[in-house]
């Protein structure tokens, strides 16, 4: 099959409809999965550990005899280190330092202002218990461990529980080592919707958490969406996406590889290239065709490009910015020489990578900012995961007798306009 992403031009009358159709995802399959997710969650709530052990055997390919076997032991953590070489550990530590240094700048502190004896402020406290979900399958994802755990630690979370469908220690050794280096308190070998349900509602063996963060497959995503409200979550993650803005001064091979870096995640991942240069669009496509055969995940990349990929020809910088803000991409690379001017016009993007020497992949692993980002256009109203996601704010109010007299009059007036007598009287009592 030939690689053939959709080519669209902003000058065409049907541009808006075309791009909307391409960005949208058919969720008919999700409805079928949702029914299965609901059954799994209800089973965990009803039968607890017994149901959980059954789901772990069925879905995680790990047959536990006792519920306690779900916990990765200290000996198994030591075993994981034997499968990881010193260079890998060294690189993990370097990445951890960069992420910690960045995350420390996000930490909020309690504050208050005092005037006329009245104190107003905020008390900032960490969430007490957090569940970190780390996917597994055929790969190990230490970067997911780092990005979800480090900001929680910086925030001061007391108890961090990691859930990951680990069957063999050797296969997921790097993720286990990463968890140990980051100070995860417990690693549980479980995944899928059953892991989300167990963390949310607890069982006799597993305690409830206050918030669950981390990516997963459609079962995990829908389970998080279902339990939201009973537990906090980070976001409802969709397929990975990247938008690259480039011009004729940029290297086509580099652009092609950066597009591939997201397309290889998933057949539904979305690689998008925007340029005012038709020559650049054509040159990148030549690079795509040239490089694709050498890619190990070429089948996934091919399907991603053909089902959701786009080359967009725009007239100018203002039009490019409008398209980017319309898409609100998870990842935005601005390679073009006018990157600083274009940046001023961008309002919607999860993470912005400026210049040819700033590929998205650096953000995935070690640049410092978090790689857990808003997807599917949610960058219009959401932000990357950060320390602030693991902190709570409580309003702090202490009114002096003098100020109470003034506030009483204001409150009585508004309360009566709303027809709330007790509100008005509670305020009036303070008018002494």
128: which residues sit within 8 A by CB, 6+ positions away? 157, 158, 159, 210
How is 257-319 classified by DSSP, letter by letter?
HHHHHHHTT-TT-EEEEEES-HHHHHHHHHHHHHHGGG-TTHHHHHHHHHHH-EEEE-SSHHH
Beta partners for 111?
122
Q: Which of 218, 287, 201 is nearest to 251 (CA)?
A: 287
Beta partners for 363?
none
Catalytic residue among 241, 330, 356, 360: 330
> How many residues are listed for the chain in this entry?
432
Give the separation between CA 162 and CA 180, rounded to whole angstroms.
Answer: 11
Give the separation between CA 90 and CA 73, rounded to whole angstroms.
Answer: 23
196: which residues sit within 8 A by CB, 6+ positions away? 41, 133, 163, 212, 216, 220, 223, 224, 227
Determine what percent of the chain falls in helix, strand and coil, rounding each to the nearest 5: 50, 15, 35
DSSP-derived 3-state class of residue 113: strand
Catalytic residue among 264, 331, 360, 371: 331
Any catalytic annotation for residue 16? no
Any catalytic annotation for residue 330? yes
Strands of the sheet containing 129-133, edge to edge, are 186-188, 159-163, 129-133, 211-213, 232-233
Question: How is residue 13 written in tokens?
Answer: 């009358």
Question: Using an 8 Å Cβ cutoff, are 117 and 147 in contact?
Answer: no
385: which residues sit within 8 A by CB, 6+ positions away? 147, 148, 151, 213, 234, 235, 370, 372, 373
Q: Which residues are marked as active site? A: 330-331
């Amino acid at each position: 099959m030939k690689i053939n992403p959709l080519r669209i031009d902003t000058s065409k009358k049907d541009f808006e409809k075309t791009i909307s159709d391409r960005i949208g995802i058919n969720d008919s399959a999700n409805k079928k999965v949702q029914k299965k997710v609901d059954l799994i969650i209800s089973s965990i709530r009803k039968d607890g550990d017994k149901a959980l052990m059954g789901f772990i055997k069925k879905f995680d390919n790990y047959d536990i005899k006792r519920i306690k076997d779900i916990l990765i032991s200290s000996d198994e953590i030591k075993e994981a280190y034997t499968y990881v070489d010193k260079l890998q550990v060294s690189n993990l530590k370097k990445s951890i330092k960069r992420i910690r240094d960045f995350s420390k700048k996000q930490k909020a502190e309690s504050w208050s202002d005092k005037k006329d004896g009245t104190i107003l402020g905020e008390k900032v406290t960490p969430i007490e218990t957090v569940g970190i979900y780390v996917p597994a399958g055929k790969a190990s994802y230490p970067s997911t461990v780092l990005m979800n755990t480090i900001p929680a630690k910086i925030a001061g979370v007391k108890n961090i529980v990691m859930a990951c469908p680990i069957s063999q220690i050797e296969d997921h050794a790097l993720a286990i080592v990463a968890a140990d280096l980051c100070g995860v308190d417990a690693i549980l070998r479980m995944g899928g919707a059953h892991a989300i349900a167990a963390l949310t509602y607890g069982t006799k063996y597993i305690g409830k958490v206050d918030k669950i963060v981390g990516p997963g497959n459609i079962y995990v995503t829908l389970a998080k969406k279902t339990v939201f409200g009973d537990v906090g979550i980070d976001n409802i993650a969709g397929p990975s996406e990247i938008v690259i803005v480039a011009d004729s001064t940029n290297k086509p091979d580099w652009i092609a590889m950066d597009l591939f870096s997201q397309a290889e995640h998933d057949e539904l991942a979305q690689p998008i290239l925007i340029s005012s240069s038709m020559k650049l669009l054509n040159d990148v496509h030549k690079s795509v065709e040239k490089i694709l055969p050498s890619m190990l995940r070429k089948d996934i990349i091919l399907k991603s490009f053909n089902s959701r990929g786009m080359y967009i020809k725009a007239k100018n910088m203002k039009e490019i910015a409008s398209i980017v803000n319309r898409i609100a991409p998870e990842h935005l690379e601005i390679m073009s020489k006018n990157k600083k001017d274009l940046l001023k016009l961008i309002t919607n993007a999860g993470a912005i990578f400026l210049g040819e020497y700033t590929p998205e992949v650096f953000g995935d692993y070690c640049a410092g900012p978090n790689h857990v980002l808003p997807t599917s256009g949610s960058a219009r109203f959401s932000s990357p995961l950060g320390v602030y996601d693991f902190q709570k704010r409580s309003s702090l109010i202490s009114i002096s007798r003098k100020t109470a007299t003034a506030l009483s009059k204001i409150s009585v007036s508004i309360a009566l306009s709303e027809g709330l007598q007790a509100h008005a009287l509670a305020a009036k009592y303070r008018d002494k």
